[in-house]
């Protein structure tokens, strides 16, 4: 699974951008594709 840092996210619209770890540029992220473990808050 890829990891990175959330650069910007709009909860109301359900999307944002992630800066991938070890890569250049930003990646579009839609809430339906984000995986979180059970301990994440």
Per-residue pLDDT reduced to its tens digit, 1-41: 778 999 999 999 999 999 999 999 999 989 888 777 777 65
Q: First and final CA of the chain: distance in angstroms? A: 19
Say what the pLDDT of residue 33 is: 83
Say what the pLDDT of residue 15 is: 96
Say what the pLDDT of residue 41 is: 58
Give the structural domain span for 18: 4-33
Count up the domains in the chain and report the number.
Answer: 1
Residue 17 belongs to a domain: yes
Residue 39 belongs to a domain: no
């Amino acid at each position: 699974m890829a990891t990175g840092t959330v650069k910007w996210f709009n909860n109301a619209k359900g999307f944002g951008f992630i800066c991938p770890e070890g890569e250049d540029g930003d990646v579009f992220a839609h809430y339906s594709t984000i995986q979180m473990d059970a301990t994440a808050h």
